[in-house]
Structure 1
Amino acid sequence: MTTAIRPLPRRPRLASALCGLLLALAAAGAQAQRASSIVIQGKDNWLFPGWGSLTQVDTRGIDAATQLVRETRDALAARGVQLEVLVLPDKTLFYQDKLPDGTTLSADVKKRYQTIQDKLKAAGISTIDDEAVLRRLKDGGQDVFYRTDQHWTQAAADATAEALAQRIRQDVKTLAGKPGTGMALGSVVNERRYGDLAELFLTPEQRKQAGRETFTVRRQADNQSLIDDAPAPVHVTGHSMVQPYFGFPQKLSNLLDRPVSVNWKPGNVGHWIMLLEYLESPAFKQNRPQVLVWQMFEPTYAQGPDAKGLWDNASIMTADAWRGRMKAAVGQ
């Protein structure tokens, strides 16, 4: 469930990294027929996940989600845990010029990330504006998402970790633990392969046309222990964007100079159940962190714990049921 950062695999488990809902739709017999609705095939062989609306924003859902996040923040604060909410922006925001001809983002969707940010800030919830972070990076000439994959680049993960580390230092003046216990960063290597959107959802002919691309990943440093014995004062919970393969938790640990633990699953289970799994785990009860980073995703932020057909069935529950489990796990 909850682990310290482990050595990186040769390549990510693509089936695990992609939203399980889409995996179900991408069964072999239906792949070719449904690819157009699952994956947006853009210009210059750019691929985009097709599960987020490009035209509509669920403002009521955003408000309801923010209320649950606020209650979680309050419950954790009463136990001495600082909640940091990390909402990652959608890939389409940064590559609108690569969308197919005739496909555009509505004005509301273009502002959706900032709408979420405004709601979080109005509720007094600590967060960072990752759209601004990644925008600066892209404006400087670096890609922030891979062309044929739903995930972010090493540069984007690093920049986000830097912004979040700065925020954590502002909110928590002194982290528990000893200096020198952060993760050392290993060397950067390149891997040539298909992105997950191409690998899973394109026909062989389409995949060949899209082509492989170079993934830049950071290997484990020499002599780095697999699991640090020291308790981690910072924990990250989320989906596949924060898995160690893409380097985010390692970079955060290095910058904070403290161990960082992480639990993640594919995006289909949703951020609601991921938080509960951690809060209800022995790891939380035995070593309550000073800082809990709760990673979410812009297109699915408005989906509550009761979003049937959007999360896997085992993750579905009413908002009241989720609230009750959260408070019980925290000890309220």
Structure 2
Amino acid sequence: MNGFTSTDNVFPLRPTRRHALQLAGAAAAMILTTRLAWAQNNNGSSLVIKGKDGWLFAGWGSLAQVDTAGIDRNVQLVARVQQWLKEQNIELVLLLLPDKAHFYADRLPDDKKVSAAVQQRYALILDKLQRANIASFDDFAALKKVSTSGAEVFYRTDQHWTLDAADATAQGTADLIRKVKSQLAGNAGTGTPLGALTKERRYGDLAEIFLSPDEKKQVGREVYTVRKQAEAQGLLDDAPAPVHVTGHSMVQPYFGYPQKLSNLLDRPVSLNWKPGNIGPWVMLLEYLESPAFKQNKPQVLVWQMFEPSFNQGPDAAGLWDNASIMPVNTWTQRVTQALGSAKP
């Protein structure tokens, strides 16, 4: 049995280089317009930071400043969502993913430094989430263990994490899910079986999207480790998923996170995600308004957010894709309507 389904942007669980390149192309179309606007509003900042030894970093996050007011506002908004979900007997798990620059600050160019405030930003957000009694865990610490073991956490020319990092995060997520929901519905043996590992050599998305052909040759391709689809695994599973993951391309099947989570929980896991600059607010809303949610409400909803953009709310004009932007009141009204809750 499969144990893994996707409700949006379905990519086969047998990842290939062709699918990876399709992802890069889709991401390019969704990122460029908004990020160019961001760069223009931030004194012409580059869309990609070219670091040492061919390392590339996204150039649209601040390495110097922390928007504490925006963080506080969004913690309160997440807490409201958690309460509305509880009214539907759904537990929320907030998956906060850390920035690549934390792990490879020594690969940044000499004129780019991570400030002391930004170094503490992940811990600051996590503390505020936990003070608000929002279920979350320290993924920064989990990924530091990966780094300490000698494995890479992120790919050199890509925004995305490695299989080792995705696996470690899936373990942390599974452990937290067991704390918030001791008994998941469904039958043992319905989780995703894990296939053999394979290697693929290609350009990372930052190189593929933002570098010229000559620059791409200079930084070179790199080797990606991905899991093949297990022979016993079909494309769809009829068993309803008690756990749903909503997020961006970090949690897509290509990098292995949802399959590993399903395997660890031994239950089906459903997923909706999109590449590009869509943002977590619209991704959650799209799921809650979907037929899939109405037909099978999960016991646990894993909502993936990203540390550098956690301060950006649903109304972050010029930062999210234009189609994703809406007033906070509009967003909350649509969420409560989708959940059948009273209006805030």
After TM superposition, give the deviation of residue 19 of structure 1 in Å.
Answer: 8.2
The C-alpha deviation readout for 1:275-310, integer Å capped at 9, x for no partner, is: 000001111111000000000111111000000011
1:234 to 222, 243, 254: 243
Amino acid at match of 1:232: A
1:228 alignment partner, SS class? coil
Change in CA separation of 1:77 and 1:50 when aligned onto 2, cut-off 3 Å: same
2:49 to 15, 40, 45: 40
Unaligned stretches of 5+ in structure 1? Answer: 27-33
Contact 2:202 2:222 in 1 (8 A): yes
Q: 2 CA distance for matches of 1:22 and 1:53? A: 18
TM-score, structure 2 length as denominator? 0.91
Q: 2 CA distance for matches of 1:35 and 1:218? A: 39
Q: 2 CA distance for matches of 1:240 and 1:169? A: 25
Do residues 217 (structure 1) and 223 (structure 2) align? no
After TM superposition, give the deviation of residue 20 of structure 1 in Å.
Answer: 2.3
After TM superposition, give the deviation of residue 15 of structure 1 in Å.
Answer: 2.3
Amino acid at match of 1:21: I
After TM superposition, give the deviation of residue 18 of structure 1 in Å.
Answer: 5.7
Contact 1:242 1:249 in 2 (8 A): yes
Do residues 181 (structure 1) and 190 (structure 2) align? yes
Amino acid at match of 2:307: E
Change in CA separation of 1:62 and 1:36 when aligned onto 2, cut-off 3 Å: closer
1:198: which partner in 2? 207
Q: 2 CA distance for matches of 1:140 and 1:228? A: 35
2:70: which partner in 1? 61
Do residues 16 (structure 1) and 26 (structure 2) align? yes
Unaligned stretches of 5+ in structure 2? Answer: 1-5, 37-42
Do residues 306 (structure 1) and 315 (structure 2) align? yes
After TM superposition, give the deviation of residue 72 of structure 1 in Å.
Answer: 0.3
Change in CA separation of 1:250 and 1:178 when aligned onto 2, cut-off 3 Å: same
Amino acid at match of 2:127: D
Contact 1:6 1:227 in 2 (8 A): no
CA-atom RMSD in angstroms: 1.7
After TM superposition, give the deviation of residue 36 of structure 1 in Å.
Answer: 7.1
1:57 alignment partner, SS class? coil
Q: 1 CA distance for matches of 2:324 and 2:296? A: 25
Q: How does 1:119-198 map to 2 (within 5 A)?
A: 119-198=128-207
Q: For this pair of structures, how many residues does the alignment match?
A: 325
TM-score, structure 1 length as denominator? 0.94
Change in CA separation of 1:153 and 1:126 when aligned onto 2, cut-off 3 Å: same
Contact 2:193 2:232 in 1 (8 A): no
Q: 1 CA distance for matches of 2:215 and 2:118? A: 29
After TM superposition, give the deviation of residue 55 of structure 1 in Å.
Answer: 0.3
2:7: which partner in 1? 2
What percentage of residue pairs aligned between the two structures are identical?
A: 60
After TM superposition, give the deviation of residue 23 of structure 1 in Å.
Answer: 6.0
2:234 alignment partner, SS class? coil
Change in CA separation of 1:19 and 1:46 when aligned onto 2, cut-off 3 Å: farther
